[in-house]
Each structure stands twice: as C-alpha cells, then as structure tokens.
C-alpha cells in the first residue's frame, strides 16, 4: 500500500503528536455529508506516503521549537472514489437544507458546479497520490485553530496565498507565513488557491505511479508504522 499513518508516526518522532480531524469523515464539510471512501470511525487517521509523512513530522517539530505551535490536519491521502464523489455531487441539485447551510460557510459567492473550473477541486487530485495534505496551525496548549484569515475549504479569493496583510489582517497573514515557511523548508509546495493545501515535492514528488483508491477505515490506524 506504501502509506504511513502520520498521526501514529508523529507519536514516535515528534515532540508532540500531530493532530488530525479528517473533515470528510463527518457531515461538517462543503458537501454536507460524509464523503465516499471515508468512514466515520476513521476521523483521526492521516495517511501519507513515507517521504511526505516524515517531512510533515519535521515541520511539526520545527513549529514546536520555533513558535510553540502545532499542526491540525483536515485531509491527507484521499481515495480516488472521493474525488469521483465530489464530481457527481457538483453536478447534482442540493440534496438537503444542511447542504445549503454548508454552502454559506464554504462557497457563498459561487455555485458548486464552478468548483472544479475555478481550481478548488481537481479531477486528478494530488491527494490521491498520498503526498498532499490540508492543514492549519493550532495552539499547542489549547488545541484551538489559529486565525488563518478564512476557514478550511473556504472556496473564495480570500483563501488564495497571494492575499496581503491589508486583505486578511496582520495576525492571519503572519500565521499563513509561519505555516508556509515551515512547509516549504521541508519540501512541501503551496497551492495558489488554498492556503491550507501543500504537496510534498509537487506533482513530481509522487511516490506511487497512479491514484490510489483505498477506503479510509479504522483498521488502517497505525499502518506502515
């Protein structure tokens, strides 16, 4: 399978474990439901390929030592079937009032059938190759998310990495810079439209030949560690 549970790995080589709350194992995401390929009881399983997993632990250690901050992962390896689910969902009418509530939180200024064309979701997602991760900064003591200028999966120009201090505020700008500096130092490439999205080695950093389509279930906890 060639995947590692980063959370389990981090308990061995990080001063403090990396936190993980997979957004697509719950209904509290931009679809408003659990995504195909994710299981509700696997919310704390963050899978990456070996080089990406070890690099992420290096990022966590640097943040701890230099800023007394940590990482919170919302998504890492993503099954191919999840991307197909995104595509089918984007073409269908809203399925519930709750989905419309999530639209107000995640993509209030566009329609869901625009998400792929605008670059917020990709048909050939780097997530499916296991070297890509979605994450934010947290306070190590309280485990609360720092001000990043927008929530995770906010599909809007406010999430672009080109935002200035005047656009998102000094605190959010500084936090984004801290995250980006640490991630880039250890080989992760940022994505222009999403401040939370980083790909280890970029597209050339893929450690598997094709997109993986393995469901994320609780029995994968600790895999490869």
CA–CA dist 50, 64 (Å, integer)? 21
Residue 213 tokens, joined: 């389509």
**Domain architecture of the chain: domains with CATH:** 4-220 (3.30.1380.10)
Catalytic residues: 194
CA-to-CA dists, residue 107 to 54, 73, 120, 152, angstroms: 33, 21, 10, 11
Angle 59-64-69 (CA atoms, 0-180°, nearest 5)? 95
pLDDT at residue 2, as a whole number: 86
E strands, the chain, are 4-5, 19-20, 47-48, 69-75, 132-139, 188-191, 194-200
Residue 164: count other Cβ atoms within 10 Å of its Cβ: 8
How far apart are alpha carbons 104 and 225 in whole angstroms? Answer: 39
**How much is the pLDDT for 209?**
87
Q: What is the DSSP letter of 40?
A: G
The whole-number mean pLDDT for each consecutive block of 10 residues of the chain, a chain of 225 residues, reads 90 92 98 98 96 97 97 98 98 96 98 96 95 97 96 98 97 98 98 98 89 96 89
CA 3/CA 223 separation, integer angstroms? 7
Gap between the Cα atoms of 156 and 132, Å rounded: 20
Task: Check residue 187 and give its pLDDT.
Answer: 98
Q: Cα separation of 147 and 149, whole Å? A: 6
Q: How many alpha carbons fall within 13 Å on the CB side of residue 164?
A: 2
Residues in the chain, how many? Answer: 225
């Amino acid at each position: 399978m060639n995947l590692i549970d980063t959370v389990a790995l981090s308990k061995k080589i990080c001063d403090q474990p990396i936190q993980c709350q997979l957004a697509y194992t719950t209904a509290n995401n931009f679809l408003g439901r659990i995504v195909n390929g994710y299981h509700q009881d696997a919310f704390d399983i963050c899978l990456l390929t070996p080089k990406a997993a070890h690099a992420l632990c290096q990022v966590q250690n640097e943040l701890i030592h230099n800023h007394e901050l940590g990482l919170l992962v919302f998504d890492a390896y993503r099954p191919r079937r999840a991307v197909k689910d995104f595509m089918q969902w984007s073409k269908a009418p809203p399925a519930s009032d709750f989905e419309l509530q999530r639209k107000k939180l995640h993509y209030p200024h566009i329609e869901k059938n625009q998400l792929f064309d605008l670059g917020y979701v990709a048909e050939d997602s780097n997530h499916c190759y296991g070297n890509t991760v979605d994450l934010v900064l947290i306070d190590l003591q309280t485990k609360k998310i720092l001000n990043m200028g927008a929530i995770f999966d906010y599909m809007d120009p406010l999430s672009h990495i080109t935002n200035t201090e005047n656009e998102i505020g000094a605190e959010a700008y500084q936090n984004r810079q801290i995250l980006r500096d640490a991630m880039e130092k250890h080989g992760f490439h940022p994505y222009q439209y999403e401040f939370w999205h980083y790909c280890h080695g970029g597209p050339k950093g893929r450690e598997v030949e094709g997109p993986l389509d393995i469901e994320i279930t609780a029995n994968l906890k600790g895999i490869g560690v």
